[in-house]
Amino acid sequence: MISLAWKNLWRNKNRTAITMAAVFFAVILSVFTTSLKDGIFDNLVKNVVSFYTGYIQVRKKGYWDEQVLDNSMAYNEKVNAPLLSIENVSGGTPRLETFGLISTNKNTKGCMVVGIDPEKENLVTSLKDKIIKGSYLADGDKGVLLSEGLADRIKAEINDTVYLIGQGYHGATAAGMFEVKGLLRFGSPELNNQIIYLSLPAAAELFSAEGLSTSLVVSLKNPKALKESVDAIQQKISSEYEVMSWETMIPDVKQHIESDTRSMKYIQGILYLLVSFGIFGTLLMMMVERKYELGMLVAIGMNKTKLSLIIIIESVLTVMGGCLLGLLASIPIIYYFNKKPLVMGGEIAVIYERFGFEAVFPTSTNAAIFYNQGFTVLIIGLLLSLYPVYKIIILDPTTSMKR
């Protein structure tokens, strides 16, 4: 039967080629759209995490509503150790954040001052990678890192001295001079125009906040298990702390991902529908073309189960062939757009900048996308091959063999 099915495929090469082409392009389109969707969202989440928030933050209860130094928490190993015992937590880094004024001899500007543990921060947000000029901070460094846009606005260069003024813990006056060690570039214009980093000890000294931090940024081994990790952390630590995921901290990004996922589902639904029509069309063509022959086979004594099996084997071979070729062809395409992402302009770029990100759309190379999409198209093909099976079940040889 397999041999007969195989030979049948080569009998009408055009028909087989058309069916395989329908599946081939369907798989490529399907893999590409899914990969692009996942790539965009993965990139978005990566941006969110690496740009600033991290996956999860632990703060003192009340800080979210009133983000001032007075709502900071004591940071020590008593807070950190329980978190690290959670399986999915890979690390944590403390931050001391507040707003202040930054000046050079030429300009003054409002800014967000962030005290960090340089080494730990780099592990969580890859901050070092954003250095475009100068060097990264060392532990206990007295220098600062300026975001590129901010440096530009206050006309500061590497090795220049900048002045920071603000309000410290419990109303203390904060003022200090710092050397610019490096410049950072963020995709988010919001961050790029206002952020300044200094080491945690330097920040604590500036704001009279020794041993305090406003947040503990937690990094995860498996970012997909976000909710479970938030729950696990909340259970481990005292109720005087609040635990928030990036989804809670930046709800508009999450909503954007959700609404885009819904839209993509409709697009994919339409795509699958087109694929179905493509395959179904060739199946219809095949049934019309082979009506007489199928009637003859039943007439001479081939039972309908075996005949159906032959048609199913033909469909499986055709759809699988198209699927495999489609998957093979999609691999270089997906990898190409992963290495050279699509860069959007116009309105899309404006929308993404509103969220604080560049409109750069890489594809995802997650192997599961290839399996899933290939499998989905295969299932569609197999389900559609039930139509010829149905036609065989109701086939009447005398009617089929009428010329």
Residue from 101, 165, 302, 333 binding another protein (CB under 8 A): 302
Binding part of the chain for another protein, among 7-15, 133-141, 278-286, 381-389 by CB under 8 A, reads 7-15
Closest CA to 263 of 47, 37, 32: 37
Residue from 21, 249, 285, 296 binding another protein (CB under 8 A): 296
The site map against another protein for 341-380 (x = CB under 8 A) is ----------------------------------------
Q: Does 301 bind another protein (CB under 8 A)?
A: yes
Closer CB to another protein, 209 or 392, in the complex: 392
Interface residues for another protein in 74-113 (CB under 8 A)? none
Residue from 228, 304, 309, 325 binding another protein (CB under 8 A): 304
Tokens representing residue 347 in the block: 């309105």
Q: Does 306 bind another protein (CB under 8 A)?
A: yes
- Residues 141 and 132: beta-carbon distance below 8 Å: no
Query: Strands 108-116 and 195-199, how do they pair?
Result: parallel
Q: Is 42 helix (H, G, I), strand (E, B) or coil?
A: helix
What residues does 196 pair with on adjacent strands? Answer: 113, 146
Long-range contacts of 104-110 (CB under 8 A, 24+ apart): 104/154, 104/155, 104/156, 104/160, 104/161, 104/162, 104/163, 106/154, 106/155, 107/153, 107/154, 107/155, 108/154, 109/150, 109/153, 109/154, 109/194, 110/194
Q: How far is the CB of 378 from another protein (least distance, A)?
A: 25
Amino acid letter at 138? A
Q: How far is the CB of 274 from another protein (least distance, A)?
A: 31
Q: How far is the CB of 321 from another protein (least distance, A)?
A: 17
Long-range contacts of 384-389 (CB under 8 A, 24+ apart): 384/276, 384/279, 384/280, 384/283, 384/315, 385/283, 385/311, 385/312, 385/315, 385/316, 385/319, 387/280, 387/283, 387/284, 387/287, 388/283, 388/286, 388/287, 388/308, 388/311, 388/315, 389/308, 389/311, 389/312
- Residues 395 and 304: beta-carbon distance below 8 Å: yes
- CB atoms under 10 Å from CB of 386, counted, come to 15
What residues does 243 pair with on adjacent strands? Answer: 58
- Binding residues with another protein: total (CB under 8 A): 21
Q: How far is the CB of 327 from another protein (least distance, A)?
A: 28
Q: Does 293 bind another protein (CB under 8 A)?
A: yes
Q: How far is the CB of 308 from another protein (least distance, A)?
A: 12
Closer CB to another protein, 68 or 285, in the complex: 285
Q: Does 224 bind another protein (CB under 8 A)?
A: no
Interface residues for another protein in 10-39 (CB under 8 A)? 10-11
Interface residues for another protein in 378-397 (CB under 8 A)? 397
Q: Does 288 bind another protein (CB under 8 A)?
A: no
Q: How far is the CB of 311 from another protein (least distance, A)?
A: 14
Find where tokens 């509503």 sit. Answer: 65
Q: How far is the CB of 300 from another protein (least distance, A)?
A: 5
Closer CB to another protein, 262 or 403, in the complex: 403
Q: Does 299 bind another protein (CB under 8 A)?
A: yes
Closer CB to another protein, 76 or 303, in the complex: 303
Distance CA 49, CA 111 (A): 20
Residue from 297, 312, 369, 384 binding another protein (CB under 8 A): 297
- The alpha carbon of 252 is separated from its chain's Cα centroid by a whole number of angstroms, namely 15
Q: Does 291 bind another protein (CB under 8 A)?
A: no
Distance CA 72, CA 61 (A): 9
Binding part of the chain for another protein, among 102-110, 166-174, 299-307, 319-327 by CB under 8 A, reads 299-307
- Residues 311 and 2: beta-carbon distance below 8 Å: no
Q: Does 298 bind another protein (CB under 8 A)?
A: yes
Closer CB to another protein, 11 or 354, in the complex: 11
Q: Does 403 bind another protein (CB under 8 A)?
A: yes
- The alpha carbon of 205 is separated from its chain's Cα centroid by a whole number of angstroms, namely 38
Q: Does 310 bind another protein (CB under 8 A)?
A: no
Closest CA to 93 of 1, 188, 175, 197: 197
Binding part of the chain for another protein, among 15-23, 66-74, 115-123, 303-311 by CB under 8 A, reads 303-311
Residues within the interface to another protein (CB under 8 A): 4, 7-8, 10-11, 292-293, 296-304, 306, 397-398, 401, 403
